[in-house]
Amino acid sequence: MTSRSAFALAGLSFFAACQSPPPKPTWHRDIAPLMEEKCGGCHSAGSIGPFSLTTHAEVMAVAESVRAAVTSRRMPPWPARRDCAEYAPDGSLTDEQIALITGWLDDGAMEGDPRDYQALEGPKTSLSRVDLTLPMVKPYTPKKMPDDYRCFVLDWPETEPKYITGFNLAPGVNAMVHHADVLYVPPEKAAEFRANDPNGDGWECYNPPILEGYWIGTFVPGSLGMDFPAGSGLKVEPGSKVFIQFHYNTAATNGPKPDLSKLELSLADKAKPGLVVALAKVSWLRERAMRIPAFEKDVMHRYEEDPTKIISVFNREFVDGLPLKAYATIIHMHEMGSKATFEIMRKDGTKECVNDIPKWEFHWQLPYSLKTPKTVYPGDQVAIECHWDNSQENQPYINGIQRVPRELNWGPNTDDEMCVAGVYFTH
C-alpha cells in the first residue's frame, strides 16, 4: 500500500466516524429525567396517576399507551395552547420532547447505564418558607365515587392584618386530591360561610366563592406550592375565614380514604399588595344574562373591561388609573364549556394572548403563570371569552340515558355554567 492510499483510507475512516449516528436515546440518560420532571408529580407511588412511571420496567409495561398519551397531548394534562404565551412552570412537552420519547420507543427503548442519569436543569417552584399551617378540622372520607366535590371552612387565627406571601397545599392522601381551590372570605362574610360548615364535616359544593371571596391559590397534583411574585402578598384581615374546595377522585386509591390535608402559608406584616381579581360580567350573575340556548353547538359570551378603572373596588390598597401587572391566570367554566380565551386588547388595537384553552377540559382547570408578567395600562382592556357546546351530541349520559339539552345560564351547580378569569395583579 502506498503512503498515499493509506492516507486516503485514514481519511475515509475519519469520515465514517463523523457519519456514525448519534448514540441511541436510553432510559437513564434521556427519558428518566424528562419523565421525572413532566410525569413524576402524578405518576409516582402514592400520587393521583393510575400507575407509576418512575422505572424502565414500569414504563415498558404501558409503553404503547404512553406513546398514545404523549403524541395526542392528552398527557401531561396541559389544555392551554402552547404558542399563546410562555409560562413558568410549563407542564407541557415540547415537540422535540415528544419526538425523543417516541424515537426512544421506536429504537427499542434501551435502558442504558444508570450513571448517565442527570436531572433536568431549571428552577423548581415551591413554597420557600412556612409560617402558618392550617390543617382541616378533621379527616374527611369521600362519600361519592369516583368524584366528590367538597368544601370546608377554616378559621383564620391571626389577630393582626397579615399578608399571605406564598401558598402550598399538602394533601393528606396525595393520590385522592385531584385539585383544590383555596380562597379567603372577608370578616363581613365569615358568619355566613361558617354556617355552611359548623363542625368541619364540609358540604357538597361545586364552586369556590370566586365573587364573595379572594383566591389564594390552586393545588394540582405534583405542585409544591409557590411564593407569590415580586415580594407581593394578599392582605387578610383578622376575623376572615379560609375556604377550601376539594375535588377528590378515588380512582387511584381503590376507593375512599380519610383525608386530612393541610394548608401551608408564608406570611408577612408588610408586602407589595397583590390581588386575584375574578373577572366576570356583573349582568351574567345579576340578570342571568349569560343565556346558553338548548341545542346550540357554539354559544359565545365575552366580557371586556379596563381593570385599571375598577381595581380599587376589589381592594382599597390598589389605586384606579395606574398600570397593573398581570402574573397568572386561571379560567373557570363548567362541564358544557368547549373553549375559552383570555387576552389583553391594547389601546392601539393590538391583541395579546394570555391564555387560550382550545378544548376545554373540566377536570384540568389549571393555573398558568406567565414567564414574564404583562403590564395592563389605563385604556387597555382585558377580555375573557367563553364558548359552550349545548348540542344534543355533547350532552352527558346520566344512568345510561343521554340528557336532552335545556337552556343553561350562570349558576353555582355543575349543571349550571360559569365564565370567570382569575388574574393575579400587582401595581
Closest listed residue to residue 34, CA positions, set 105, 118, 112 = 118
Return d(Cα 262, Cα 219) in angstroms, integer. Answer: 12
Return d(Cα 426, Cα 424) in angstroms, integer. Answer: 7
- Locate 257 and state its grid cell: 380514604
In angstroms, give the least distance from the CB of 130 to ligand HEC: 23
Return d(Cα 58, Cα 47) in angstroms, integer. Answer: 15
Rule CB under 6 A: is residue 49 a binding residue for ligand HEC? Answer: yes
Rule CB under 6 A: is residue 55 a binding residue for ligand HEC? Answer: no
Name which of 149 and 303 has its Cβ closer to ligand HEC. 149
Name which of 318 and 368 has its Cβ closer to ligand HEC. 368
Name which of 37 and 197 has its Cβ closer to ligand HEC. 37
Rule CB under 6 A: is residue 333 a binding residue for ligand HEC? Answer: no
* Cβ(426)–Cβ(271) below 8 Å: no
Name which of 120 and 294 has its Cβ closer to ligand HEC. 120
Among the residue ranges 63-71, 138-146, 159-167, 266-274, the one whose residues contact ligand HEC (CB under 6 A): 63-71
Which position has the grid cell 376545554?
360
- Locate 253 and state its grid cell: 386509591
* Cβ(133)–Cβ(263) below 8 Å: yes
* Cβ(390)–Cβ(408) below 8 Å: yes
Closest listed residue to residue 324, CA positions, set 232, 386, 235 = 232
Return d(Cα 421, Cα 156) in angstroms, integer. Answer: 26
Name which of 75 and 354 has its Cβ closer to ligand HEC. 75
- In angstroms, what CA-CA distances link 141 with 132, 154, 260, 261, 363? 25, 17, 9, 12, 20
Name which of 66 and 85 has its Cβ closer to ligand HEC. 66
Among the residue ranges 46-54, 202-210, 267-275, 406-414, the one whose residues contact ligand HEC (CB under 6 A): 46-54
Return d(Cα 240, Cα 158) in angstroms, integer. Answer: 9
Interface characters, 216-255, with ligand HEC (x: CB under 6 A): ----xxx---------------------------------
Rule CB under 6 A: is residue 169 a binding residue for ligand HEC? Answer: no
In angstroms, give the least distance from the CB of 58 to ligand HEC: 11
- Locate 311 and state its grid cell: 381595581
- Locate 307 and state its grid cell: 381593570
Return d(Cα 265, Cα 127) in angstroms, integer. Answer: 8
Rule CB under 6 A: is residue 25 a binding residue for ligand HEC? Answer: no
Q: How many residues make contact with ligand HEC (CB under 6 A)?
A: 24
- Locate 385 and state its grid cell: 371569552
Name which of 167 and 303 has its Cβ closer to ligand HEC. 167
Rule CB under 6 A: is residue 62 a binding residue for ligand HEC? Answer: yes
Among the residue ranges 48-56, 81-89, 334-342, 384-392, the one whose residues contact ligand HEC (CB under 6 A): 48-56
In angstroms, give the least distance from the CB of 361 to ligand HEC: 9
- In angstroms, what CA-CA distances link 316 with 275, 278, 310, 313, 320? 11, 16, 11, 7, 10
Closest listed residue to residue 352, CA positions, set 377, 319, 321, 388 = 377
Return d(Cα 50, Cα 244) in angstroms, integer. Answer: 25
Quick one: which of 31, 32, 48, 263 contacts ligand HEC (CB under 6 A)? 48
In angstroms, give the least distance from the CB of 397 to ligand HEC: 18
Quick one: which of 43, 332, 339, 387 contacts ligand HEC (CB under 6 A)? 43
* Cβ(390)–Cβ(292) below 8 Å: yes
In angstroms, give the least distance from the CB of 54 to ligand HEC: 11
Rule CB under 6 A: is residue 77 a binding residue for ligand HEC? Answer: yes
- Locate 181 and state its grid cell: 381551590
Interacting residues with ligand HEC between 252 and 271 (CB under 6 A): none
In angstroms, give the least distance from the CB of 194 to ligand HEC: 32
In angstroms, give the least distance from the CB of 148 to ligand HEC: 15
Interface characters, 87-106, with ligand HEC (x: CB under 6 A): ----x-x-------------
List of residues contacting ligand HEC (CB under 6 A): 35, 38-39, 41-43, 48-50, 53, 62, 65-66, 69-70, 74-77, 91, 93, 220-222
